[in-house]
């Protein structure tokens, strides 16, 4: 089947993207589904274009790997929304659009005269999607919040890290922003569907704190039901009603693997005897290890020094092999050992390659770079990367001529006047 935008789920819709890094992912996801996403930047460029790391180690508005990662599927125009003329031009663009996505502080759009009530008067079918740290209403709504602040305020930070140490952020990637962007994208898509039956647009608001908070389902319910807070588990599994901690992440020769030593019936009939047999084949088991009665083993009644002794056998065995060797042996013996994949592993993962997950997009200089090709695989409508992240103002002439009929002379005057 030919992969064209007119066959895509959102191929008939146009989105004006006013977001910063808090909302980039929303427009990107809508673009995957075929929407024409137009990134509206200030004439000097979005500030996130200067977020490192940079391609070739050279700082510049076209070299940010962060920008290039989160702004595929978009066209770029420049427009000074702080000027009266720029705001007038934006209002004209809204008449040609289906969606506006923004991540300004609450109230900022109203100050510019382009809040939802104004946009709705211009285009009653317009959908405005607003993404902010704490939403558009409530006592915290005007507070600022970084990704880390939203992690903390959403409760997920309290669930990450070692239980005997302070909480830790799970990644240097702005993951809270991505969760909010995903919520904003599906909220926008549903609003478009609703518009198809009602004929009316609406204002969709997303709180990044709330997007994070909903990932803590069991922690909320446990506290509500028992009055007790869940402890951070880290890379160990803490046995209930016991001081025993079972290792779940182990060092291999070239990285890490995940494996948990179960006690009781499961451990006796599945992984443990198979792993001991494998270790014995390679001369890394002794009478003690071979003699463990896994069916009778209860971690709650096992002293921690004995737990450490058992861990020691597994630790030495895993360190003697690469992740690939452990995975290959685990598959043959039906043992639940999983490699901890690095970015390099993911790029070469056979399952992702088999599903054609990676797609090469061109960068300046003729270089091709692999990107995730889609977040779902519809049977009929394409979902894919349609274009690389745009250069600053790359589509000014194209968009302004196409949507507003500006000729080259007018575009030149607007550029000279600092409007675009």
Q: How far is CA 195 from CA 8, 114, 201, in A?
A: 18, 21, 6
Strands lying side by side in the sheet with 255-258: 249-252, 255-258, 338-339
Confidence label for 374 from pLDDT (cuts 50, 70 and 90) = confident
**Cβ pair 34, 11 in contact under 8 A:** yes
Residue 230 vs residue 176, higher pLDDT = 176
pLDDT in tens, 212-269: 998 876 776 777 777 777 776 667 776 666 677 788 999 999 999 999 988 777 778 8
Confidence of residue 3 (pLDDT cuts 50, 70, 90): low
Tell me, what's the pLDDT at 233? 66
**Residue 2 pLDDT greater than 60, yes or no:** no
Mean pLDDT of 332-357: 93
Res. 413: pLDDT tops 70: yes
**Residues 199, 45: Cα–Cα separation, whole Å:** 35
Q: Tens digit of pLDDT for each residue in 320-339?
A: 999 999 999 999 999 999 99
Could you tell me the two tokens for 296? 């009778």
- Burial (CB count <10 Å: 0-12, 13-18, 19+), residue 216: middle
Supply the pTM of this predicted model.
0.89
State the Cα–Cα distance between residues 46 and 67, nearest whole angstrom.
9
The pLDDT assigned to 158 comes to: 83
Q: What is the pLDDT of residue 146?
A: 92
Q: Is the fold of 5-216+359-416 the same as that of 236-341?
A: no
On whether the CB atoms of residues 36 and 215 are closer than 8 A, the answer is no
pLDDT score at 106 = 96
Distance of CA 287 to the CA centre of its chain: 48
The CATH class for the domain spanning 236-341 reads alpha beta
Average pLDDT over every residue of 93-98: 98
Helix (H, G, I), strand (E, B) or coil at 318: helix
Q: What pLDDT does residue 405 have?
A: 97
Q: What is the pLDDT of residue 206?
A: 98
Q: What's the CATH code, domain 5-216+359-416?
A: 3.40.50.10540
Lowest mean pLDDT among 10-19, 65-74, 144-153, 219-228: 219-228
Two tokens at 362? 């061109």
Task: Report the pLDDT value the prediction gives residue 389, as an integer from 0 to 100.
Answer: 95
Q: Per mean pLDDT, which range of 14-23, 110-119, 300-309, 329-338 is the poorest?
A: 300-309
Closest CA to 73 of 300, 390, 403, 364: 390
User: Cα separation of 223 and 292, whole Å?
Assistant: 37
- Distance CA(203)–CA(118), nearest Å, equals 12
Partners of 40 in the β-ladder: 77
> Positive or negative, the Cα torsion across 79, 84, 87, 88?
negative
- The residues spanned by each domain of the chain are 5-216+359-416, 236-341
Q: How many CB atoms lie within 10 A of CB 97?
A: 21
Percentage of residues of the chain with pLDDT beyond 70: 96
Judged against a pLDDT cut of 60, whether residue 1 lies above it is answered with no
The 10s digit of each residue's pLDDT in 6-55 is: 889 999 999 999 999 999 999 999 999 999 999 999 999 999 999 999 98
pLDDT at 215: 82
Nearest to 16 by CA among 43, 35, 44: 35
């Amino acid at each position: 089947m030919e992969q064209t935008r007119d066959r895509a789920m959102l191929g008939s819709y146009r989105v004006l993207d006013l977001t910063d890094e808090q909302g980039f992912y929303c427009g990107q996801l809508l673009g995957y589904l075929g929407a024409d996403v137009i990134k509206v930047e200030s004439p000097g460029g979005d500030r996130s274009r200067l977020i490192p790391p940079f391609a070739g180690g050279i700082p510049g508005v076209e070299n940010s790997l962060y920008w290039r990662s989160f702004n595929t599927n978009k066209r770029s125009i420049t427009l000074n929304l702080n000027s009266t003329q720029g705001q007038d031009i934006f209002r004209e663009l809204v008449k040609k659009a289906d969606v506006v996505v923004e991540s300004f502080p609450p109230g900022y759009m109203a100050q510019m005269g382009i809040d939802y009530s104004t946009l709705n008067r211009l285009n009653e079918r317009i959908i405005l999607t607003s993404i902010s740290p704490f939403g558009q209403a409530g006592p915290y709504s005007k507070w600022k919040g970084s990704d880390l602040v939203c992690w903390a305020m959403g409760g997920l930070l309290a669930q990450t890290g070692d239980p005997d140490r302070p909480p830790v952020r799970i990644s240097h990637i702005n993951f809270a922003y991505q969760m909010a962007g995903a919520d904003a994208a599906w909220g926008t898509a549903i609003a478009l569907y609703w518009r198809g039956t009602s004929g009316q647009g609406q204002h969709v608001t997303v709180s990044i704190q709330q997007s994070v908070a909903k990932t803590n389902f069991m922690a909320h319910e446990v506290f509500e039901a028992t009055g007790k807070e869940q402890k951070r588990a880290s890379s160990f599994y803490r046995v209930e009603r016991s001081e025993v901690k079972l290792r779940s992440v182990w060092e291999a020769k070239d990285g890490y693997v995940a494996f948990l030593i179960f006690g009781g019936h499961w451990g006796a009939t599945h992984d443990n005897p198979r792993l001991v047999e494998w270790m014995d084949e390679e001369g890394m088991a002794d009478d003690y290890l071979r003699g463990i009665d896994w069916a009778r083993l209860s971690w709650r009644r096992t002293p921690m020094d004995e737990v450490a002794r058992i861990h020691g056998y597994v630790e030495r065995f895993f360190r003697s092999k690469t992740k690939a060797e452990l995975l290959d042996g685990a598959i043959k013996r039906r043992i639940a050992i999983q490699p901890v994949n690095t970015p390099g592993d993911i790029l070469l993962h056979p399952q992702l390659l088999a599903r054609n997950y990676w797609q090469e997009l061109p960068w300046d200089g003729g270089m091709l770079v692999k990107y995730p090709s889609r977040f779902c695989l519809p049977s009929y409508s394409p979902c894919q990367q349609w274009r690389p992240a745009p250069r600053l103002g790359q589509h000014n002439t194209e968009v302004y001529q196409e949507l507003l009929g500006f000729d080259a002379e007018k575009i030149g005057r607007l550029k000279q006047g600092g409007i675009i």
